[in-house]
Structure 1
Amino acid sequence: MKPKYSINTSLIFKVSLCIVLVCFFAEEIKAQKLNDTISLHEVKIFGKRKIEEAGLHVSHIDTLELKMMKTLTISELLSSFSPIFIKSYGRGSTATASFRGTAPSHTQLYWNGIKLNSPMRGDVDFSLFPVYFIDDISLLYGGSSIKSGSGALGGSVLIGNKPDWTDKLSFRYVQTIESFSTKKEYLNVGFGNGRFQFKTRLFSDESKNDFPYFNYGVLPMHQTVQKNAGYSKQGVLQEIYTRRNTHFFSAKLWASKSHRNLPQLMSFEGDVRKETMDDQNLRGVFSWKHHTQNSKLEWVGGLNLNDINYFRASTEASFVNFDSRNREQSYSNQIDFDWNPGEFLHLNWNVNSSYHQVSVLDRAQKLGYKHDRFELSLLNSISIMASSEVSLSLLSRSDLYDNHLIGFIPSFGLEFTPAKWGSSTVKLNLARNYHQPGLNDLYWLPGGNPNLKPEKGYSGDLTIRYSDKNENSSISGQLSGFASFIENWIVWQPSANGAYYWEASNMKKVFARGLEIQLSFQKNIAKSASFNLKANYSHSATSNLNAVPSVDESRGKQLIYIPKDKANIFAEGNFKAWHVKINAPFTGKRYTSSNNVESDFEKVLNPYWLINLTAGKSFHFKSVWMDLALNIENLANTDYMAILWRPMPGRYYSLTVQFQYKK
């Protein structure tokens, strides 16, 4: 299919280079002396406790981590800096999220207030979202996610954009050259003043993805190179912000496209085939805010349009197996009102309406469906600071979809900060939530089930946070325990009548429980050196409770492809203009069969550590900043699989050059 628009990456590079040189020499022609190193003192920002977050389990990925991962995707960011497990089908391929042991459809993604989950599938492909296009990201865990919307039985991921009102003129360009004929380019141009800001971001990511690997899936086993795995992704984000007195208006438009070749499994020995996936997306958010001394009124309107085309054919037999053309159109409006009568009380009301249209047609199979859905959600929230040590919150949602009314979706939070504990805090959250079936679950042909019930969840978590700091160092950590019961868990399984297809049904009652540990340490060593250390660990046990032991061996067993253990460690050292970073994510054992059997026929995916090393140096020339960094991925050359019979690359390299000019 002919693309609706194209992005010329060579033009990006030429224009970028010209602007960098002009900006550089314009500043330097006046210079009498250059300093190759500028020491910057650390700036710490502290804020008082937010009463509206009382009892909510919320975490934020900070700006430094976003800058470090800016040439990667949100899936890679979450895998490296959060307890979320990312199920990736390979380099450049689909990546979904499992939050606290739940299904990918139980993780919701919001961009500046609008939900981006597919109304057709219910999940999100996080590999399509570049970190370069976002300015902040936060996570809402378990029942705390009701704050942003219903349906996130595991949790929610919130990404957003914001203006820099001090930006008069700025230009940023990043280029990465990577193994396997990979080239990435990123461009950001902005200008404005204290009342108006205009920003344009572009990106391009292309790769042949032809890495070598050892094929264990066929006999004789042998060394080979991955074929038909190339991909290309491009996108543009336009942002406009303006403010006057107590009014603030913003408009954001995000267009992107991707073309991905899907390689055959390692174990596949049939005819050579062509398999591709094409995505084209257009998203928009328009908002207006009005502030007073103790209140805020906001309107947000959004659209999310997606074309998803899947094609598979046997090239030798000239036979088309699938030619699926899918279109999703989502439109939303919401009004949000915050009121703070005093520092001890916060009230919030939110009304959200969404309309979805889905069209599915497989031109080869001559199957498909068209359906729409209207959703209406009402949120009432109250947060109270009962004393200097105790705060509590109560949230209640009511949802209406497809003539189904879910009248009461509550969340209760309690926060205790004893004065004698210093800055330590204990948080408790209890909630009831639900998740509606995706339109594919209901209407897919063949196998969809219009009689599916919504999934219902009951969750609770307890979190203990500790932090301490002095002039040169700070340390913080938190320990969380969580549990959730989910009824009517939707699964796809072979048809009960013996037909060749699979069908959706409410089969499982699932119990998910576990713990999460997060640690952070920062240390300034003299004026020119610093050290940062961050670590995350999560243990999630997710098992099916209502299977009959004598018939179904999956009772009490871990759900497939969900690891019990997941961790990541990040360490960073800075000395003058030099920096070294180590990122080490760990993924535990994953079962590929529901009975958790390990044999020659029932394979398991072994646990693995990945060690990624980055070393670089920054250069400052008045208004121009440059950085050169060498990155080594999979330093130990670990042989692993994230998905059964999907190969992953060994050690590979990348070189990143960054230019930044800001007036």
Structure 2
Amino acid sequence: MDIKRSLLLLCSSYGSFLFAQEKALDTIYIFDSQMSKVKLFHPVRTITQKDIEKNSTSLSELLRYQSSIYIKENGRGAVSSPSFRGTTAQQTAFVWNGININSSFLGQGDVNNIPLFGYDQIDVKAGGGSVVYGSGAIGGSIHLNNVLDFNRGFKGSVFTEVASFDTYNNFAQASFSNEKLSVKVSGSYLTSKNDYKVPEFVVGSTPFDNINGRYYNTSVNFGVSYKIADHQTISWQNQIFDASQHYPIFEDNGNRTKYNAQTLRSLIAWDIQKSNLSNSLKVAYTEDNFQYFSDINQPKASGAEGKNYIFKNDFNYFITPKININAIGEFQVNKGEGYQSGIGSISRNVGSLAGLIRYFATKDLRFEAGIKKDFVEDISSPLLYSFSGKWDATPWYHAGINFSRNFRFPSFNDLYWQPGGNLNLLPETSTNIDMNHEFRLGDFKITLSPYYMDIKNLISWLPTSFGYWAPVNTYRVQSYGLESQATWNKTFGKHTLKLDAGYTYTKSINKETQMQMMYVPTHKAVGNIEYGYSFLKLYAQGLFNGLTYTSTDERRSTAIDPYFTLNTGISATVFKKYTVGFKVNNLTNEVYQTVSLYPMPKRNYSVYATINF
């Protein structure tokens, strides 16, 4: 069997190797060229633009209700961070079009300072991925992906929403493409007074009032792709984001503070895609700036500016119809400058070389092995590796196994913050193993994924005898549990019914104290049900979060109690172009927190409209 015929067979069997199917090149261009390969071996949850409409308040809300991730949010719209499989926020990688965008200063992404709109799909991948996606991809990774189509003509859409607490949310997108050129532009604007009250929740002697909770953000996205020759495409993707968060206070005469953030991301890619090989050369520039105001009416009290120059090449080649090799090289220059933080003008060079080999034994059995070495200036980095296997044993049972070593190197704040920065820190490392069991019965599918992680050299900020805090490599963490997902889709006549439910059991243990880590709920369950008839759709979402400790000693008195929240909504679509909808969030009026002392809103409402043309 010749190479091209084998590749087309693999494509039809797996539906993922877009680089191998020449016909697909006339249809779509995906900026993250690795994601199609990742999906061959790992379960990946994809969130579409239609899913986003159900949780359009923020990326935090979307991930809370439509993934297994625990989102810690200091009140609606404020500082927000993820906990993936019991790990810290720094151990989750945010990946924008194949580029790791975790902050060089914090080593993490603030979920509420990442725009929700402007992507064609959001992928959530559980488990280690440092061989491909770099530092921080220990617990999992969140992928913000853009797609450019060819031969689709002109398309456009407008989304607008008005919600409780003087919240206004708007998004518009337009695209045009022909045989050679594809262009897409979008923009979003979100503002909220965010002045909700929770009278049942008392701080001190005062019922909670989210004073000074205002926030806004705006983003602009632009993408263009041009076919410069047969099998060759040059593309440019950009994102500009500006945001401001006022931090809530508990008393009206309290000190009002705020945090401003601006990000710029620009990526140029040159892709060669043929039947048996592909190469993607990326050159990217990212910039992250922030300013903290200890008084909103005074100049900034502190801040930082980070700039990253990134060069990445991804070469993929089929030696034989069954053996595929993949070489990835990356070089970064990370620059930063702090203000009132003791961090001066700093620069760090980071390079890496990774190699992967994939073996397709049959159309039902495949393996992947990878190895990677990072070269981080002034830091000794470990050798990373990964192994994955996927077996489609029967039409109703598929099995997979993944084993990997992953890491996170110290952030700029860890190393250089003064006083406290520690230049002797070691990278965090982890050994991950997980299995995936997928069962299918007609329209019903259930996935069970047990996992285990052993994390060493965890970086923690602790108080010192000198009166300030400093980061040190502390204890080991053992994290294990089970992720499960069940889906059922059925269409009968004009009726459609979709069920999607997930349950996560997580134990994340400090191996010194044998106690559960902070802000890691042992139990989390989410469920979505959607019913459609003709032009009408009705949905409901449920979220259960178990007992969550907020201290290192499992103190029950300060723990966050279990809670259950329910959202629901209805929408109508007319002439396939115009949609209007109404949503009720927290229908049961639950009083709950995701971070101690910062309750989330009780029952609230929104109405929205979408126009497609």
For normalisation by structure 2, the TM-score amounts to 0.91
**What amino acid maps onto 1:586 in structure 2?**
F
**What amino acid maps onto 2:590 in structure 1?**
T
Does structure 1 residue 282 correspond to structure 2 residue 264? yes
Contact 1:66 / 1:131 at 8 angstroms: preserved in 2? Answer: no
Partner of 2:27: none
Does structure 1 residue 562 correspond to structure 2 residue 520? yes
Secondary structure of 1:368's partner?
Answer: coil
Secondary structure of 2:108's partner?
Answer: coil
- CA drift of 1:53 comes to 4.5
One of 588, 594, 605 as aligned partner of 2:560: 605
Partner of 1:518: 485
Secondary structure of 2:599's partner?
Answer: coil
- Once residues 206 and 608 of structure 2 are traced to their aligned partners in structure 1, the CA distance between those partners, rounded to angstroms, is 36
Contact 1:139 / 1:157 at 8 angstroms: preserved in 2? Answer: yes
Does structure 1 residue 617 correspond to structure 2 residue 584? no
One of 455, 460, 466 as aligned partner of 1:491: 460
The Cα offsets for residues 604-655 of structure 1, whole Å up to 9 and x where unpaired, read as: 111111111110100117xxx0000000010000011111111211000000
- Once residues 39 and 59 of structure 2 are traced to their aligned partners in structure 1, the CA distance between those partners, rounded to angstroms, is 27
**What amino acid maps onto 2:426 in structure 1?**
K
Q: How many residues in Structure 1 have an aligned counterpart in Structure 2?
A: 583
- Once residues 454 and 570 of structure 2 are traced to their aligned partners in structure 1, the CA distance between those partners, rounded to angstroms, is 45
Partner of 1:386: 361
- CA drift of 1:511 comes to 0.5
- CA drift of 1:67 comes to 4.9
One of 104, 118, 123 as aligned partner of 1:119: 104
- Once residues 351 and 72 of structure 1 are traced to their aligned partners in structure 2, the CA distance between those partners, rounded to angstroms, is 38
Does structure 1 residue 465 correspond to structure 2 residue 431? no
**What amino acid maps onto 2:608 in structure 1?**
T
Partner of 2:26: none
One of 488, 491, 508 as aligned partner of 1:542: 508
Pair 368,564 (structure 1): closer, same or farther in 2 beyond 3 Å: same
Secondary structure of 2:128's partner?
Answer: helix
Contact 2:149 / 2:177 at 8 angstroms: preserved in 1? Answer: no
- CA drift of 1:427 comes to 0.9
- CA drift of 1:598 comes to 1.9
- CA drift of 1:500 comes to 2.3
One of 78, 83, 86 as aligned partner of 2:71: 86
Contact 1:54 / 1:391 at 8 angstroms: preserved in 2? Answer: no
One of 303, 313, 316 as aligned partner of 1:338: 316
- Once residues 501 and 308 of structure 1 are traced to their aligned partners in structure 2, the CA distance between those partners, rounded to angstroms, is 23
One of 383, 396, 404 as aligned partner of 1:408: 383
**What amino acid maps onto 1:532 in structure 2?**
K
- CA drift of 1:55 comes to 7.7
Does structure 1 residue 529 correspond to structure 2 residue 495? yes
The Cα offsets for residues 187-230 of structure 1, whole Å up to 9 and x where unpaired, read as: 112223122122110110001001121264445454x5321111
The Cα offsets for residues 117-137 of structure 1, whole Å up to 9 and x where unpaired, read as: 001100001223333211122
Secondary structure of 1:143's partner?
Answer: coil
Cα RMSD between the aligned structures?
A: 2.2
Structure of larger gyration radius: 1
- Once residues 68 and 178 of structure 2 are traced to their aligned partners in structure 1, the CA distance between those partners, rounded to angstroms, is 39
**What amino acid maps onto 1:544 in structure 2?**
N
Partner of 1:291: 273
Partner of 1:482: 451
- CA drift of 1:49 comes to 6.4
What is the 5 A alignment of 1:495-510? 495=464, 497=465, 499-510=466-477
One of 448, 463, 469 as aligned partner of 2:421: 448
Stretch deviating more after TM superposition (143-152 or 245-254): 143-152
- CA drift of 1:247 comes to 0.8
Partner of 1:57: 42
Pair 400,219 (structure 1): closer, same or farther in 2 beyond 3 Å: closer
- Once residues 52 and 254 of structure 2 are traced to their aligned partners in structure 1, the CA distance between those partners, rounded to angstroms, is 41
Secondary structure of 1:503's partner?
Answer: strand
- CA drift of 1:75 comes to 2.5
Partner of 2:543: 585
Secondary structure of 2:475's partner?
Answer: strand
Pair 197,70 (structure 1): closer, same or farther in 2 beyond 3 Å: farther
One of 14, 27, 31 as aligned partner of 1:48: 14
Contact 1:272 / 1:314 at 8 angstroms: preserved in 2? Answer: no
**What amino acid maps onto 2:218 in structure 1?**
Q
**What amino acid maps onto 2:509 in structure 1?**
S
- Once residues 215 and 610 of structure 1 are traced to their aligned partners in structure 2, the CA distance between those partners, rounded to angstroms, is 16
The Cα offsets for residues 316-359 of structure 1, whole Å up to 9 and x where unpaired, read as: xx9x9x70121111110101111123442221000011111111
Bigger relative contact order, structure 1 or 2 (CA pairs below 8 A, ≥6 apart): 1
Contact 1:71 / 1:130 at 8 angstroms: preserved in 2? Answer: no
Does structure 1 residue 351 correspond to structure 2 residue 329? yes
- Once residues 121 and 518 of structure 2 are traced to their aligned partners in structure 1, the CA distance between those partners, rounded to angstroms, is 32
- CA drift of 1:453 comes to 1.0
Pair 504,178 (structure 1): closer, same or farther in 2 beyond 3 Å: same
The Cα offsets for residues 53-105 of structure 1, whole Å up to 9 and x where unpaired, read as: 48832313143654534734332222222211111122111221111111100
Partner of 1:241: 225
- Once residues 65 and 286 of structure 1 are traced to their aligned partners in structure 2, the CA distance between those partners, rounded to angstroms, is 28
Does structure 1 residue 649 correspond to structure 2 residue 604? no
One of 501, 521, 529 as aligned partner of 1:571: 529
Stretch deviating more after TM superposition (71-80 or 512-521): 71-80
- Once residues 361 and 155 of structure 2 are traced to their aligned partners in structure 1, the CA distance between those partners, rounded to angstroms, is 46
Does structure 1 residue 232 correspond to structure 2 residue 216? yes
Does structure 1 residue 373 correspond to structure 2 residue 348? yes
Pair 221,255 (structure 1): closer, same or farther in 2 beyond 3 Å: closer
Contact 2:260 / 2:292 at 8 angstroms: preserved in 1? Answer: yes
**What amino acid maps onto 1:121 in structure 2?**
L
Partner of 1:310: 292
Contact 2:405 / 2:431 at 8 angstroms: preserved in 1? Answer: yes
- Once residues 629 and 448 of structure 1 are traced to their aligned partners in structure 2, the CA distance between those partners, rounded to angstroms, is 50
The Cα offsets for residues 25-53 of structure 1, whole Å up to 9 and x where unpaired, read as: xxxxxxxxxxxxxxxxxxxx985265844
- Once residues 609 and 124 of structure 2 are traced to their aligned partners in structure 1, the CA distance between those partners, rounded to angstroms, is 30
For normalisation by structure 1, the TM-score amounts to 0.84
- CA drift of 1:259 comes to 1.1
